[in-house]
């Protein structure tokens, strides 16, 4: 289920669509963060602004997807830390849209180096002695993210139709279709590496009921 959220993030990367859509969805081409002062002096900060469609919604979905993805590791709590770091949580809704991903990439860069050093030092594939995996929680996170991803897809497509017209929608749908085969290959590779434990039948039935409840709530609110 979490792969659905991953595909929506993959299908809507930072970048410009067209002027009308960019204005509404607050997306655009990557550019350096800078400030123009009254003296016409431009102060450059050396930080890229990366803006996907509806940046704050995309950022929230990206973090939720990351949490579900990280929950499959025995040392999941160590993976949660860089995702939930206060500085990153603040960046998700920063008044300057586009700062989040640059900060996220930098944080993950440090985290990956920490993991390599810690696992080498411990001579183990896990940094914790306790196995923090919980397949039911992972599946539940995935179901919630799948619903959020569907709402995001619907939001982007609606704006594309309203601001860009039928041609923009056709181009958007064609792009998604072309990406689906590539995503299927990536998904198969990721699943092959995860080794997720099997989920009990009673837990699957519970998750199925929860999925129906989440879907009904989305329809009731007019989100799907």
* Segment 200-209 mean pLDDT: 56
The predicted pLDDT at position 176 comes to 85
Please name the residue ranges forming H helices in the chain: 2-11, 19-25, 55-70, 76-83, 86-91, 99-122, 135-159, 165-194, 201-220
Q: pLDDT tens for residues 69-80?
A: 999 999 999 999
* Segment 3-7 mean pLDDT: 85
Q: pLDDT tens for residues 119-158?
A: 899 898 888 889 999 888 898 899 999 999 999 999 999 9
What the block records as the tokens of 175 is 């792009």
The predicted pLDDT at position 189 comes to 63
Under 8 Å CB-to-CB from 23, ≥6 apart: which residues?
163
How sure is the predictor about 207, in pLDDT bands with cuts at 50, 70 and 90? low
Lowest mean pLDDT among 108-117, 177-186, 193-202: 193-202
- The answer to whether residue 52 scores a pLDDT higher than 70 is yes
- The answer to whether residue 21 scores a pLDDT higher than 90 is no
State the residue for tokens 């995001």. 152
The predicted pLDDT at position 195 comes to 45
The predicted pLDDT at position 223 comes to 45
Number of domains within the chain: 1
How sure is the predictor about 202, in pLDDT bands with cuts at 50, 70 and 90? low
The predicted pLDDT at position 213 comes to 59
The predicted pLDDT at position 170 comes to 85
The predicted pLDDT at position 30 comes to 87
State the residue for tokens 């009673």. 202
How sure is the predictor about 98, in pLDDT bands with cuts at 50, 70 and 90? confident
The predicted pLDDT at position 214 comes to 55
The predicted pLDDT at position 184 comes to 76
State the residue for tokens 């803006």. 51
How many Cβ atoms are within 10 Å of 83's Cβ, its own excluded? Answer: 20
The predicted pLDDT at position 175 comes to 84
Look up the domain containing 145 and give its range: 2-220
Q: pLDDT tens for residues 53-97?
A: 998 899 999 999 999 999 999 999 999 988 988 878 777 676 677
CA atoms of 89 and 85, how far apart (whole Å): 6
């Amino acid at each position: 289920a979490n792969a659905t959220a991953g595909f929506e993030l993959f299908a809507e990367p930072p970048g410009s669509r067209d002027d009308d859509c960019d204005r509404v969805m607050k997306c655009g081409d990557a550019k350096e963060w800078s400030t123009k002062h009254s003296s016409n002096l431009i102060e450059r900060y050396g930080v890229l602004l990366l803006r996907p469609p509806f940046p704050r919604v995309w950022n929230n979905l990206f973090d939720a997807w990351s949490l579900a993805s990280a929950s499959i590791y025995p040392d999941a709590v160590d993976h949660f830390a860089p995702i939930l770091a206060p500085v990153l949580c603040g960046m998700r809704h920063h008044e300057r849209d586009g700062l989040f991903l640059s900060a996220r990439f930098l944080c993950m860069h440090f985290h990956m180096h920490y993991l390599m050093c810690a696992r080498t030092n411990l001579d183990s594939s896990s940094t914790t002695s306790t196995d923090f995996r919980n397949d039911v929680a992972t599946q539940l996170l995935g179901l919630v993210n799948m619903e959020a991803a569907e709402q995001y897809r619907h939001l982007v497509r609606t704006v594309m139709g309203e601001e860009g017209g039928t041609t923009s929608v056709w181009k958007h749908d064609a792009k998604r279709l072309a990406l689906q085969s590539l995503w299927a290959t990536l998904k198969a590779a990721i699943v092959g590496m995860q080794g997720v434990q099997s989920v009990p039948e009673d837990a699957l039935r519970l998750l199925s009921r929860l999925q129906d409840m989440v879907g009904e709530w989305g329809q009731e609110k007019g989100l799907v």
